[in-house]
């Protein structure tokens, strides 16, 4: 449990947590509010299997993990599904863009995806930071 809660106590990590958490929480909620364009409908359009299930499955993980990251609770564990989601998003949506429009169009179209992937990896490596539930729980464990 110590490894999961471990954090570096950096004060600035909260900025990254707020960005990542808010984006994934919002995207997760939108998959439920707008399933035809953000959830199952989008997954069906890009050819993923069982889009109804995947829409709600991915939306649930984005919502839950986004909330956990906002709180800084189990930050490292919450980052893992989000990393997976971003890798799949890049592979399924940007590969076609690369083959049809080329490298620079793909890079332009995937800038947010890459940003979310890399900051999620950052949180996996560094933890929740100074102002996180992880830091508070880590202090409690040391007592």
pLDDT-above-70 percentage for the chain: 99
Tell me the pLDDT tens digit for each residue of 49-93.
999 999 999 999 999 999 999 999 999 999 999 999 999 999 998
In this predicted structure, the answer to whether residue 104 has a pLDDT above a threshold of 90 is yes
- What pLDDT shows up at residue 141? 78
- What pLDDT shows up at residue 43? 94
Q: What is the residue range of 18's domain?
A: 2-142
- What pLDDT shows up at residue 140? 83
* Cα–Cα distance list, 65 to 25, 61, 71, 77 (Å): 7, 6, 10, 9
DSSP string, 64-101: HHHHHHHHTSSHHHHHHHHHHHHHHHIIIIIHHHHHHH
| Total number of domains in the chain | 1
Q: Look at residues 127, 131, 132 and name the one whose alpha carbon lies nearest to residue 2.
A: 127
Work out the mean pLDDT of the chain and round it to a whole number: 94
Q: Taking residues 99-119, report their average pLDDT.
A: 93
pTM: 0.91
């Amino acid at each position: 449990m110590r490894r999961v809660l471990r954090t570096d106590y950096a004060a600035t990590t909260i900025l990254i947590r707020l960005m990542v958490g808010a984006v994934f929480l919002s995207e997760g909620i939108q998959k439920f509010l707008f399933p035809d364009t953000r959830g199952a409908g989008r997954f069906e359009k890009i050819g993923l299997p069982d889009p109804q299930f995947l829409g709600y499955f991915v939306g649930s993980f984005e919502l839950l993990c986004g909330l956990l990251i906002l709180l800084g609770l189990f930050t490292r564990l919450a980052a893992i599904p989000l990393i997976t989601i971003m890798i799949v998003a890049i592979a399924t949506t940007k590969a076609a863009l690369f083959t049809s429009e080329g490298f620079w169009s793909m890079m332009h179209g995937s800038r947010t995806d890459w940003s979310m992937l890399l900051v999620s990896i950052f949180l996996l490596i560094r933890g929740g930071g100074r102002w996180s539930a992880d830091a508070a729980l880590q202090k409690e464990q040391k007592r």
